[in-house]
Amino acid sequence: MIFQLLVAGQEPVTNQISTALMALLRHPSHLERLRAQPELLERAVEELLRYDSAFELTTWRFLAEDAELHGTRVPAGDSTIVSLCAANRDPQRFPDPDTLDFDRPVNPHLAFGHGIHFCPGAALARVELQIALGTLITRLPGLRLAVPDDQIEWIPAVLARGVNQLPVTFAARI
């Protein structure tokens, strides 16, 4: 359990920082808005978690009893895997789901799971994301990719995603 907490407390947040930063670098007007309005950081982090979560899938969920999922009978003992990213882009839950929107009024995203599977480190991860992104935005004016977007190498993982390296450049501090 301790090993899981250590791994789950480090790698996903690291990947989420890089994933959120990629979203901001791909949306420079959002990056500049956060620089100009740092009070939006908490809401921005929630939207970045919804928009492009580092955890794409849940771990396996085994059914305790027979069930029907979207018209398909699933017998007890079988497993399912849920796409958290697809759920976070569900147009029935999120108006204009493919748009990064820091003004989204309600954001019940599933980046940290739900119910008994809700991440016990979610509060800490949120604070880490706010501090990391806030620090980068504040201390690195003119932050932008140092290479073309298509040269960014994403980590090939089953459950989570992030980038191997994130080469950036920025203007000199004044």
Residue 34 forms part of a structural domain: yes
Q: Which domain holds residue 156?
A: 2-54+100-169
Integer Cα distance of 163 and 171 in angstroms: 23
Residue 94 forms part of a structural domain: no
Q: What are phi and psi of 78, to 5 degrees?
A: -75, 165
Integer Cα distance of 143 and 112 in angstroms: 28
Kindly report, residue by residue over 69-110, the tens digit of the pLDDT. Answer: 889 999 999 988 888 889 999 999 999 999 999 999 888 999
pTM: 0.87
Structurally, how many domains does the chain consist of? 1
| Confidence band of 7 (pLDDT split at 50, 70, 90) | low
* CATH number, position 18: 1.10.630.10
Residue 74 forms part of a structural domain: no
Residue 109 forms part of a structural domain: yes
Residue 160 forms part of a structural domain: yes
Integer Cα distance of 87 and 57 in angstroms: 10
Residue 164 forms part of a structural domain: yes
